[in-house]
Amino acid sequence: MAATLAWCAAVPVRGCARCCSPANSVRAVWRARLDEHLGYYAIEGTRLRAATVLASSHAVYGVTIWPRWRGLLPERDPHEDIYEMLERTLDDFDDISEAASIS
């Protein structure tokens, strides 16, 4: 499964807004009768980090600057290495020294 980077700009479904907060990881599955038919995404939160990340100012800065960096990457290309680095960084945001070093 290729990792694709995505950012939720707006979530129309009220129940799903909690899962699509910045810094959370989600699993999205397209639900339709056929792939080319109109359908919807079934979104399930896999790692809910928003409460931890929003508790510290350095983590909030890191999460809010990410969409600007993502805008420099080609759309619809898998970026597995960047995705893994982002996941690792988000997991380490509760420790400032770990979040600052990207290895």
Q: Is the pTM of this model over 0.85?
A: no
pLDDT at position 100, please? 54
Q: What is the pLDDT of residue 36?
A: 80
Q: Which residue has the tokens 């359908």?
A: 39
Q: Quick check: 1 pLDDT over 50?
A: no
Dist. CA 50–CA 90, nearest whole Å: 10
Tens digit of each residue's pLDDT (9 = 90 or more) over 32-79: 888 788 888 888 888 888 888 878 777 788 788 877 777 888 877 888
Residue 14 has pLDDT above 80, yes or no: no
Nearest-CA neighbor of 87 among 24, 2, 9? 24
The predicted pLDDT at position 102 comes to: 52
pLDDT value at position 15? 62
Residues in Cβ contact with 4 at an 8 Å cutoff, skipping those fewer than 6 apart: 76, 78, 79, 83
Residues with Cβ within 8 Å of 22's Cβ and at least 6 positions away in sequence, in order, are 50, 53, 54, 63, 64
pLDDT greater than 70 at residue 9: no
